[in-house]
Amino acid sequence: MLRRGQLAPEFALRDQDNQLVSLAELLSNGPLVLFFYPGDFTPLCTREACMLRDFHSELQQLGIRVVGISPDKPEKHDAFRTKHALPYTLLADPEKDIAYLYGAEGPMGIGIRRATYLIGQNGYIEDALVADLRISRHEAFVQKVIATAHAASPASA
């Protein structure tokens, strides 16, 4: 797992619309909450995706983008996004190459771990969490990101 202060590895992956998206492009307008999850339509992944959907507008107002990565193909991401009204981008990492670079691969390379990163616009990891089965820890992570962004915004000074 990457740690605070490390440079986030660059990548380019296909999104739910089969468009190539790079990390540099994602960071062009501000910081990024990047989350890795095992797969679309599984109970815990659906819960996590919907939790992030519910925080999305507040994160967006703070200039923070949300993007999810799993091994699923773009077509499955598109169906998952549509079914659950997910307003953010989902990226396909079918070979798990990017999950590996970010330390989100499962034990012995099997599966994907549930990992969430806050990446600053400068490309460096600002915070990170791995909590495979505890969605509540990911929710607390997002709430902390929001609280920190509110405290740092000029309007709160």
What are 56's two structure tokens? 């999305």
Say if residues 125 and 4 touch (Cβ distance below 8 Å).
yes
Rounded Cα–Cα distance for residues 114 and 138 (Å) = 9
Q: Hey, which residues are catalytic here?
A: 45
Q: Give which of 65, 69, 95, 94 is closest to 80, Cα–Cα.
A: 69
Rounded Cα–Cα distance for residues 40 and 90 (Å) = 10
Counted residue by residue, the chain has a size of: 157
Rounded Cα–Cα distance for residues 28 and 82 (Å) = 26
11: left (phi over 0), alpha (psi -120 to 50) or beta: beta
What are 108's two structure tokens? 């012995």
